Structure 1
């Protein structure tokens, strides 16, 4: 039987700083998903989620169960899982060398190396907002992550405990917040209740049809939030506007 193709770029093309590779490495060392979860400070469910995500992205099975051992069974890396782990290590070393070289050459004032690392992030989401984690509140199986944008405004993302663990989020960490343009409502005035982010800004661009218009709203220094407004909203360029996006529609990504 032909060897399966490992999709390295899909599995490792974005930041490898989250817990997924750490879980894979721990499984190799301790031979058990439950023990690997403990070693990484994760729940058993989160550890399995990490393994399943890597398998889906790589297009191959990365671990397999083995009979015997502590508790009557364990797990070990497949040869594809081992190759993926080795590739992750090579990418980490190469990235560190590249960033060190950039630092030695110097960089223009205000240019963030973390931001440069995020340039490789490619998604269908129109809104990419660099931010800093300033708070985390846990309640009823979910976590509300408070993210400070440029200019001091705060955006809130609602994610699961497992995602919080796998991303290794903590206060002071630089991340990127993402959301689809279709998840952002733009209007002259918006009254919200519940778990909704609301921003005031100024319309910078309008383009659309008779039914709806895409609107770009400046919400802070160098920050544009793209959403949609009804065609009869009366909004025009350079006018004040409000933009709303639900907390559950905000996705958090890691930078480099």
Structure 2
């Protein structure tokens, strides 16, 4: 049984687990454990792997600052899991927030707030609404998954995520998501006739020179903006066509709703 010798969480710690826009499926795992399911049973109910289910619990516990599930010794399979009092409190808080959210959305029914990342706070300046085109492992048995996204302008972005993350997010073709990326992971260059895989095309809207790198803001084809950096001195001017390139490992996927 897990040790109870720990510092109790402060009242403000538990809500941190609900600030993550991808928490819903993780909370589903916790709900099934609260209902008496083992981790393996909870994983089957949610439709994810056993490993992903434990990742969900561990992530929520890390965000909460307190254990939400205790591993128990003995029983079939050598042990099980039991939700803690803090885990039950988190589920109660999640239910209350869901009710409040529905009340707010009901008041704004028909408005323009249905999709977006308004609840997501992150240092990543690049956030773009996209849709999943397809999601599949690069090879049989590979622990990583390649996710291809379509931007509003019709460009294709590729992200590399773990199978567990893809399962927890429920990634599938047609799903609306947010593509997120740190500006420091984006290389900007002037457009050329050569097609660059994984590039976003746009026109330079702003450029701020620096000592080593120049920060460049692109207005993307199809709408939206993307921020990146170019080696100083960057020769591009406002209005010039340019491309932003990033690696699949740098592109983070978040739920858009």
SS in 2 for 1:75: strand
Match status 1:84 vs 2:86: no
Structure with greater helix share of residues: 1
Are residues 1:44 and 2:65 paired? no
1:146–1:157: 8 Å Cα contact kept in structure 2?
yes
Residue by residue over 1:61-97, the C-alpha shift from the partner in whole angstroms, topping out at 9 and shown as x without a partner, is: 0000223333232111010011111111111122122
Structure-1 residue corresponding to 2:206: 205
TM-fit CA distance, 1:178: 0.3
Aligned residue number for residue 146 of structure 1: 148
**Structure 2: 5+ residue runs without aligned partners?**
none
* Post-superposition CA distance 1:96-148 (Å, at most 9, x none): 22212210xx42xxx35112xx2121101110101111211222221111212
Change (3 A) 1:221 1:189: closer
Measured in 1, the distance between the counterparts of 2:184 and 2:22 equals: 29
Instruction: Report whether the alignment pairs 1:133 with 2:139.
Output: no
TM-score by length of 1: 0.89
**Normalized against structure 2, the TM-score is what?**
0.89
Q: Matched residues in 2 for 1:169 and 1:18: separation?
A: 13
Cross-structure match for 1:22: 28
Deviation at 1:160, TM superposition (A): 0.6
Cross-structure match for 2:172:
170
Do the aligned partners of 1:17 and 1:254 also contact (CA within 8 Å) in 2?
no
Distance (whole Å) between structure 2 residues aligned to residue 128 and residue 24 of structure 1: 29
Q: 1:29/1:13 Cα in 2 relative to 1: closer, same or farther (>3 Å)?
A: same
Q: Distance in 2 between matches of 1:8 and 1:164?
A: 25
Cα drift, residue 25 of structure 1:
0.8
| Deviation of 1:235 (Å) | 1.1
SS at match of 2:9: coil
Determine helix, strand or coil for the equivalent of 2:58: helix
CA 1:134–1:201 in structure 2 vs 1: closer, same or farther (change >3 Å)? same
Within 2, Cα distance between the matches of 1:18 and 1:11? 10
Q: CA deviation at 1:243?
A: 1.2
Q: Secondary structure at the match of 1:165?
A: helix
> In the comparison of the two structures, how many residue pairs are matched?
247
Question: Deviation per CA, 1:23-71, whole angstroms, max 9, x where unpaired?
Answer: 1011122341122112211111111111110010000000002233332
Alpha-carbon distance in 2 for matches of 1:123, 1:114: 17
- Structure 1: unaligned runs, 5 residues or longer: none
> Residue 242 of structure 1 aligns with which residue?
243
Secondary structure at the aligned position of 2:217 is classed as: strand
- The secondary structure found in structure 1 opposite 2:164 is helix
